[in-house]
Chains A and B, each alone.
Chain A
Amino acid sequence: DQQVKQNSPSLSVQEGRISILNCDYTNSMFDYFLWYKKYPAEGPTFLISISSIKDKNEDGRFTVFLNKSAKHLSLHIVPSQPGDSAVYFCAASGTTSGTYKYIFGTGTRLKVLA
């Protein structure tokens, strides 16, 4: 059972426009969410995170929005740049018996067109 879902396997956006990547989760115990970016043949690198006590977190061109009632989060990249082309993974975690297990989605491949 996939607890973290990224339903769009790919997305193409023109350079300079906004990229919106979406993520849904099913477990209401999740209270911490992260976005990672992955280039080919490299490990995922951390982008931005958000705690469930917030509904928005911003870091430069990257903003994450959290809608707890809908169990949905999104990553906005503005403006999109060709170097942003990568696979983006959403991840979620929550305390279960005092441990943190990070659950990842299947990823969305973003292509920013010059």
Chain B
Amino acid sequence: EAGVTQFPSHSVIEKGQTVTLRCDPISGHDNLYWYRRVMGKEIKFLLHFVKESKQDESGMPNNRFLAERTGGTYSTLKVQPAELEDSGVYFCASRQGTHGELFFGEGSRLTVL
């Protein structure tokens, strides 16, 4: 069974540009989460999808961040326009059911210059 996959693994962009990160959860997992880790700090919650619906987006930093999950399958996280403080590793995780462990992808490292 394939795990959570994320693309790209690393992206380097200039301030003001746009980047789109993609996450493919484990097949059948209705719950999909986005997290971000900046400079060795905590793994910070961004948002939670249940199927295609945003269940909780309280962690999204501002309106430069847009997450979608069309059809309840893969998800994208777009940053537009990117700022220097957006640099970090963006993790996607998925889970089956209402409880239990999260399965994480390997992360997408974003560097904004």
Q: Mark A82-98, 1 if CB is under 8 A from B, else 0.
A: 00000001010000000
Check B1 for interface membership: any CB of A closer than 8 A: no
CB contact between B45 and one of A44, A101, A105 (< 8 Å): that residue: A101
Interface residues on chain A, number (Cβ under 8 Å): 23
Instruction: Please tell me if the beta carbons of A46 and B103 are within 8 angstroms of each other in the complex.
Output: yes
Indicate if the CB atoms of B42 and A49 lie closer than 8 Å: no
Q: Closest Cβ of chain B: how far from A35's Cβ, in Å?
A: 10
Residue B48 contacts which of A46, A99, A107 (CB distance < 8 angstroms)?
Answer: A99
Question: Which residues of B have CB within 8 Å of A100?
Answer: 31, 48, 98-99
In the complex, the answer to whether A44 meets B42 with C-beta atoms within 8 Å is: no
Q: Are B45 and A107 in contact (CB under 8 A)?
A: no
CA distance A7 to B108 in the complex (A): 27
Q: Are B101 and A49 in contact (CB under 8 A)?
A: yes
Is B35 touching A104 in the complex (CB atoms < 8 A)? yes
Contact, CB under 8 Å: A2 / B48:
no
- A74 interface residue, CB < 8 Å from B? no
Provide 26 A-B residue pairs closer than 8 Å at the C-beta atoms, listed in order of the A residue: A34-B101, A41-B106, A42-B106, A43-B91, A44-B43, A44-B91, A44-B104, A45-B104, A46-B101, A49-B101, A89-B43, A99-B48, A99-B50, A100-B31, A100-B98, A101-B45, A101-B56, A101-B58, A102-B33, A102-B102, A104-B35, A104-B43, A104-B44, A105-B42, A106-B40, A106-B42
Which residues of A approach B to under 8 Å, CB–CB?
2, 4, 32, 34, 36, 41-46, 49, 89, 91, 99-107
19 additional contacts (CB under 8 A) given A101-B58, A102-B102: A34-B101, A36-B104, A41-B106, A42-B107, A43-B4, A44-B43, A44-B91, A44-B104, A46-B102, A49-B101, A91-B43, A100-B31, A100-B99, A101-B45, A101-B48, A102-B33, A104-B42, A104-B43, A105-B42
Interface residue ranges, B against A (CB under 8 Å): 4, 31, 33, 35, 40-45, 48, 50, 55-56, 58, 91, 93, 98-107
